[in-house]
Chain A
């Protein structure tokens, strides 16, 4: 008799543990305060002997009085102190295989260092120098102006770049930090003295907070105190800036006569993370256009093939947010794409999501958060977001709870409240 293996059942899925039943924990941080009052948030974890240190200054666009001053000051932090020139600074960090990056955002501007743990002692003193003694050399400024203007020229050829700038102008107004964009003349108008003043006020004598993560050396706190605990630290006043949203809602722009695709942006204003609807709308957004299995993706990419990808998301701003739908679609199907976006909004307002689809969204979101807590850098990034947005420590667990418990009725209510066609700006750049 020939024995045959029983064939396996390939048609039905193996049993799963619902991701909503998994226990999700955000590893708590350790916090200490340097002698001068600067808070340090630390996550000690990881398999590799590496770490990251981030200095977050309240020195973003929000605080500048003239366009590009914040971004340019931030860029030039690495380009010269009274002791070292740009090349020597770069060579020092490069020699130890480390990465010293800077970035300027709307409210904050950062310096971040990634390195092998064993090199940290060689690198911190030079970072101190950048924070206390940058001289923002005028030759470095002029190279930056020249190269950034050239880069802008190339970017302006890209429809998606143009669309991204314009939709923010409609939402926030061109004088608001979230809507402001760079023009050639803004680069030309920069001068060194203004940058130095901004540096003195917002870096050297500014307000800042630190985040460290990775395999941390035992003496890290004392190292940080040695190099940063004696620096000036000042509170800075809250600055109120009002948005000036556009009155006109619908725009069609031609950027490239021979273009083959249109950049579509559809967006509405939305409150920040402190609003009671924010977490719930995150779930509605996932269902609508927040992941590969979303309504927008299933319909407009996977059924119609109009685009390589379509996404919706809540913008990551501290003061105000916006709800954005973004895609690049074939020129001849742009209007059809927009019609389908509104059709999906309509369906969310009219019909209750069924249990299976909602369960899918819940499980996807939970799995995605679980996967995103991979390693110390991801964990500190979550905490940083919570802390810089002024949210309480419970925020993470409330967001998990919202994902687990939101009902189809609540989602429909939110759709009726926020997915009103007339509230959306609509833009196509071809």
Chain B
């Protein structure tokens, strides 16, 4: 059970306080309700580029990192298709430094031409490092385009192409900031060795007079139900053939999300999971195989991917995967196997919650979804999943017309 207090400032900023006196540190986590899904299709990669610019100085503070490091703090940030998150960890004595820094960049950035110039280059190098220079690095660009026809999940957080980043202008940056980076569009969690009283006082002092801004109303194009299977073949200079298949699943708040989550664990969570045992160990068709989902807020994808053992034909590999999925659709998992994946989920949550930073991050995410308190009901939701649920959802999810398959062939 994670305890917390919650209040909202008059400008709309939601504040959550989670006290843990066993640590000498304090954590400030600010999550903005904007991700790559909120981008214009002609200017993708912007939410992420923007995350970089958030470190380029704010209106009253020319350098963000130095004063934080001087206070013994560390920080980082990440952008996903759904949200952008910034977090600081510092000695609890210096908590006010975090308030000072974060409130100033929520007030306004410095919008420096030099910062934009440099970060455009840095992000282009990041793009190359992760998606061009790596074997199979283009898979998810292609898979997203295949699986989504309308929903903005069809592009990756890093963006569709380098040119979108290269062409970003300072005006784009300003518009983006004043649309999304407003108190009404953010959740702040302060955790660690802190008291609610002190956080309240500091929040009012530093964030109280920030203009509220207009609450962003998300209205994204919805993905129509897929009605026919889609396939794509790629050939590239990679050493091994690889198989990727994705099916549409459910939004984060849908009860069936939890069923799909356990389903991926039955198929590929650990050395005793079905796909690993059958396809890597017994049949030796794949040298590795994984099943996972993206954990996205809107309806996401469940994926199976693996590299084929040299000499294995793609159609043979695919048929063997399908055979395992047929079992999921036609036979009930036994109680022991279901209990196994529930136990695994319980211990995974316990390990994640060991770190104050993770707890702060989760509280912010659940609040963004609707209510921070939902964090405490996750286990119950997993516990309620039955063997029938698993079978029914396997039938629903693993339909050919719901599938997107990418055959990635070695060009050597």
A32 contacts the other chain (CB 8 A)? no
Which of chain A's residues 347-404 have a Cβ closer than 8 Å to chain B? 359-360, 363-364, 366-368, 370-371, 373-375, 377
Whether B128 is near chain A, meaning CB under 8 Å from some CB there, is yes
Per-residue interface assignment for chain A, residues 45 to 84, with 1 indicating a CB less than 8 Å from any chain B CB and 0 otherwise = 1111110000000000000000000000000001000000
A47 surroundings in chain B (CB, below 8 A): 20, 22, 353-354
> Residue B220 at the A interface, CB < 8 A?
no
Quick check: which of A16-24, A230-238, A420-428 contacts chain B, the rest being far away? A16-24
Residue of B nearest to A50 (CB): B350
The reply to whether A98 and B347 form a contact with Cβ atoms under 8 Å apart is: yes
Indicate whether A208 reaches chain B with its CB closer than 8 angstroms: no
Q: Which residues of B contact A292 (CB under 8 A)?
A: 65, 69
Which of A49, A87, A373, A375 makes the CB contact (< 8 A) with B355? A375
Q: Is the CB of A87 within 8 A of B343?
A: no
B347–A143 CB distance below 8 A: no
| A95 cross-chain contacts in B, Cβ below 8 A | 272, 336, 339-340, 343
Q: Are B205 and A8 within 8 A (Cβ)? A: yes
B234 CB–A CB distance under 8 Å: no
Is there a chain A Cβ closer than 8 Å to B366's Cβ?
Answer: no
Given contacts A22-B24, A374-B25, contact A360 B66 (CB under 8 A): yes
Assembled-state Cα–Cα distance A1/B107 (Å): 28
The size of the chain B interface, using a CB distance under 8 A, is 83
The answer to whether A374 and B91 touch across the interface, beta carbons within 8 angstroms, is no
Q: What's the least CB distance linking B158 to chain A, in Å?
A: 11
A115–B347 touching, CB < 8 Å: yes
**Closest A residue to B240 using CB positions:** A150
Q: A116-B346, A150-B307, A305-B122 are in contact. Are A370 and B72 (CB under 8 A)?
A: yes
Contact with A along B177-216 (1 / 0, CB 8 A): 0000000000000000000000000000110010000000
A35 at the interface (CB under 8 A from B): no
User: What distance in Å separates the Cβ of B300 from its nearest Cβ neighbour in chain A?
Assistant: 24
Least CB separation from A25: chain B residue = B24
Q: Tell me the bound Cα distance from A46 to B271 in angstroms.
A: 28
- Cβ of A97 within 8 Å of any chain B Cβ, yes or no, is yes
Taking the closest CB of chain B, its distance from the CB of A116, in whole angstroms, is 5
Contact between chains at B281 and A374 (CB < 8 Å): no
User: Which chain A residue has the least Cβ–Cβ distance from B286?
Assistant: A147
- What residues of chain A lie closer than 8 Å to B117, measured between beta carbons? 305
A240-252 interface mask toward B, CB cutoff 8 Å, 1 = contact, 0 = none? 0000000000000
Q: Write out the residue numbers on chain A whose beta carbons fall within 8 Å of the beta carbon of B135.
A: 154, 157-158
A13 and B97 contact, CB distance less than 8 A: yes
Q: Which of A86, A98, A302, A328 has the most CB of B within 10 A?
A: A302
Determine if B129 is an interface residue (Cβ-Cβ < 8 Å): yes
Q: From residue 70 to 114 of chain A, which have CB atoms closer than 8 A to chain B?
A: 78, 86-87, 89-91, 93-99, 114
Assess the A13–B67 pair: CB atoms within 8 A.
yes
Bound state CA distance, A80 and B126, in angstroms? Answer: 42
**B209 and A49 form a contact (CB under 8 A):** no
Find A364's partner among B20, B72, B209, B237 (CB 8 Å cutoff): B72
Residues A307 and B61 in contact, CB atoms below 8 Å apart: no
Q: A306 at interface (Cβ–Cβ under 8 A)?
A: yes
Query: Which residue in B89, B123, B238 is a CB contact (below 8 Å) of A157?
Result: B238
Does B309 lie within 8 Å of A90, measured CB to CB?
Answer: no
Cross-chain contact A364 with B69 (CB below 8 angstroms): yes
Specify which chain B residues have a CB less than 8 angstroms from the CB of A5 in the assembled complex. 209
Among residues of B, the one whose C-beta sits closest to the C-beta of A116 is: B347
Q: Most chain-A CB neighbours within 10 Å: which of B91, B103, B119, B273?
A: B91
A45 to B354, CA, bound (A): 11
Contact A143 B71 (CB under 8 A): no
Among B69, B310, B353, chain A packs the most CB atoms within 10 A around the CB of: B69
Determine if A291 is an interface residue (Cβ-Cβ < 8 Å). yes
Which residues of A are found within 8 Å of B66, using beta-carbon distances? 293, 360
For the complex, is A343 an interface residue (Cβ under 8 Å from B)? no
B381 within 8 A of A: no
Q: Flag whether A346 is at the interface (Cβ < 8 A).
A: no
List B residues 221-240 near A (Cβ within 8 Å).
237-240
Quick one: which of A17, A116, A261, A368 contacts B128, CB cutoff 8 A?
Answer: A261
Q: Mark A1-40, 1 if CB is under 8 A from B, else 0.
A: 0000101101101101111001000000000000000000
B-side contacts of A8, CB under 8 Å: 205-206, 209
Complex Cα–Cα for A99 and B79 (A):
29
Residues of the A chain whose Cβ atoms lie less than 8 Å from the Cβ of B73: 367
A257 nearest in chain B by CB position: B237
Interface size grouping (class) on chain A:
35 or more
* Nearest CB of chain A from residue B385's CB, rounded to whole Å: 15
Knowing A153-B240, A154-B135 are in contact, say whether A147-B287 is a contact too (CB < 8 A): yes
Tell me how far the C-beta of A125 lies from the nearest C-beta in chain B, rounded to whole angstroms. Answer: 18
Q: Is the CB of B100 within 8 A of A150?
A: no
B120 within 8 A of A: yes
Given A50-B354, A360-B66, is A94 in contact with B97 using a C-beta cutoff of 8 Å?
Answer: no
Contacts A19-B91, A50-B347, A150-B310 given; does A260 touch B280 at CB 8 Å: no
Which residue on A lies nearest to B353, using beta carbons? A48
With A47-B22, A293-B66 as contacts: A328 and B238 at CB distance below 8 Å: no
| Cα distance A364–B347 in the bound complex, in angstroms | 33
A147 touches B343 (CB 8 A): no
- Which among B93, B100, B103 is the interface contact of A17 at CB below 8 angstroms? B93
- The answer to whether B343 touches A308 (Cβ under 8 A) is no
* Contact status B60-A11, CB under 8 Å: yes
Beta-carbon contacts under 8 Å, B343-395 to A: 343-348, 350-351, 353-357
Q: List the B residue with the shortest CB-CB distance to A159.
A: B133
Assess the B118–A305 pair: CB atoms within 8 A.
Answer: yes
Residue among A87, A293, A307 making CB contact with B65, cutoff 8 Å: A293
Given contacts A328-B129, A367-B91, contact A116 B344 (CB under 8 A): no
- Is the pair A14, B97 in contact by a Cβ cutoff of 8 Å? yes
Find out whether the CB atom of A260 lies under 8 angstroms from the CB atom of B132: yes
Candidates B94, B273, B356; contact of A374 at CB < 8 Å: B356
Please tell me if B74 contacts chain A, counting CB pairs below 8 Å: yes
The answer to whether the Cβ of A151 comes within 8 Å of any Cβ in the partner chain is yes
| Nearest A-chain residue to B412, judged by Cβ | A153
One of B93, B125, B340, B350 near A22 (C-beta < 8 A): B93
Q: Give A412 to B22 CA distance when docked, in angstroms.
A: 39
| A363 / chain B contacts, CB cutoff of 8 Å | 69-72
State in angstroms the CA–CA spacing of A307 and B133 once bound together: 13
Q: How far is the CA of A50 from the CA of B347 in the complex (A)?
A: 8
Which residues from A are CB-within-8-Å of B65?
292-293
Alpha-carbon separation in the docked complex, A363 to B69 (Å)? 7
B161 close to A (CB within 8 Å) = no
Give bound CA distance, A79 to B237, whole Å: 34
User: Which residues of chain A have C-beta atoms less than 8 A from B353's C-beta?
Assistant: 47-48
**B80 interface residue per 8 A CB criterion:** no
A183 contacts across to B, CB distance below 8 A? none
In the assembled complex, how far is the CB of residue B26 from the closest CB belonging to chain A, in whole angstroms? Answer: 10
A259 at the binding interface (Cβ < 8 Å) = yes
Interface 1/0s, chain A 154-174, versus B by CB < 8 A?
101111000000000000000
List 11 additional contacts besides A308-B123, A371-B90; criterion CB under 8 Å: A16-B72, A47-B20, A50-B347, A90-B271, A91-B272, A94-B269, A143-B284, A307-B122, A308-B125, A370-B91, A374-B356
Can you list 10 contacts pairing A with B, beta carbon distance less than 8 Å? Answer: A19-B72, A47-B354, A97-B348, A116-B350, A256-B133, A328-B133, A329-B125, A330-B125, A368-B72, A371-B90
Closest 10 CB pairs of A and B: A367-B72, A305-B121, A19-B72, A90-B271, A97-B347, A97-B343, A153-B239, A91-B272, A90-B272, A147-B287
